[in-house]
Amino acid sequence: MNDEKVLSFFREILCIPRESGHEEKIVEYLMEFGRKRGLDTKRDEVGNVLITKEAAEGCENWPVVVLQSHSDMVCEKNSDVEHDFTKDPIKYEIKDGWMIAPGTTLGADCGIGIAAELAILDSQDLKLGKIEALFTVSEETGLDGANAISSDFFTGKILINLDSEDEGQLFVGCAGGLDTTAVFNYTPCPMPEDYICTRFSVSGCIGGHSGDDINKGRANAVQQLARFLYEVMPLDIELCQIDGGNKRNAIAREAWATVAFPEDCEDDIIAAFNRFSEEVKAEYSVTDPGIEFTAEPVTFKDDIIDTASAYCLIAAMAAAPHGVLAMSADIEGLVETSSNLASVKMIGDNKIRVGSSQRSAINSARHFAAARFEACFALAGAQVTHESEYPGWKPRMDSPILKTTVDAYKRLFGCDPIVRAIHAGLECGLFQGKYPDLDMISFGPTIVGVHAPGERLDLESLKKFCALLEEVLKNVA
């Protein structure tokens, strides 16, 4: 399978809007792709697409293989970048062997998986068994497509998930996840007389995937902003506005708050902010060398958040668990349980929403992580809900497709791949529940910085990924 052909299809995909929940264009593209080639093509009610390519001559008795990717992407951009994900193609550059989206996400997660499936469906010279190419929707917002898929949508008993991002590693298990949301009601109040306003911002954090990168110790902009606000609460501050983070599965890179305070407190508050900034820059000098803190005087004439509600919000965010909560006792180096303080948004009707996600391979540990987050915010008076839970994927070390893939990797590259589980969520856990006899594995090329601007694809690893996928498919008989 030619990696240039895969890249050609990926470049087409970069021009198609496919934010989670808005996959209409990519679904239409996939349906048309299959029809044009005379392949059996169908979609279900939620938008999952299945394109089937019959076995080549002489391969009719080979087992059916399901190749699976999700059709949506995380749409994140830096605040100073002009980009409309509903219509603008993703801009990229090739530099030092990497394909990079400078100010946005690239969507190689999971666009490369889609492109690899299309290249196989389009090929005329590969002698393979029957292939069922499955494209699920809204994976990034709760694995909605996989959750809604019927137990008879595909027929294959072997599934290769193409949603992994570390070449040389084969994944046979993953964590389950759960979203927890807290909503505060506040009372709008007039600005106290003789108060001045400053907008405090945290930016330049690297961010990243809330599962795969949660153990890297990176700064969370929402958490750092709450940390500063809690520190200066005794200085008679009032909270006017607050905003930070976006997606529940991304570590927050930017956050800001407009704060009002008596004019005679300005020197103390700015001094505290400058001191805080230097301390945090030192703390994160290795993981987030580009972190920035800015304080800018602003004019604010609208109503502000009542003092009691602002205190409860800030205190809860400062106390909320974020980061690694437990490491696995079974698999060395694997994060077992984590929580991500993802976002804070003013959503109208005098409400403020705080979003988060919890992950764990152990159901009880995941539920307790969510309960800890709930406890922080319930004690502060917020309404807390849980949604979009999905199961983990239990490793099967005697898996036939695992052995086939390990053997193929050794033949091609002369070394052993790493076999492991991942803390990020994969749809395999949901497939396992609906297709209990399914034999699954997940692998992909190296993609760095997923769910954050600057996401990049290692082109050399793409060549190895394409070769491995072809070799595995040729040896499943």
Prior bond of 110 cis (ω within 30°):
yes
CB 324 within 8 A of CB 338: yes
Question: DSSP assignment, residue 411?
Answer: H
Annotated active-site residue in 19, 132, 139, 439: 139
Give the number of C-alpha atoms closer than 13 A to the C-alpha of residue 394, restricted to the C-beta side: 8
Q: How far is CA 388 from the centre of its chain?
A: 14
Residue type for position 116 = A
Question: Strand, helix or coil at 299?
Answer: coil
**Active-site position among 3, 19, 72, 243:** 72
Q: What is the DSSP string of 74-112?
A: ---B-TT----TTTPPPP-EEETTEEE-SSB---HHHHH
DSSP string, 206-275: --EETTTTGGG----HHHHHHHHHHHHGGGT-EEEEEEE---TTEE---EEEEEEEEGGGHHHHHHHHHH
* Residue 72 falls in the annotated catalytic set: yes
Number of neighbouring beta carbons within 10 Å of residue 106: 28
- d(Cα 250, Cα 451) in Å, to the nearest integer? 6
| Closest listed residue to residue 16, CA positions, set 82, 90, 76 | 90
Active site residue 24: no
* Residues involved in catalysis: 72, 139
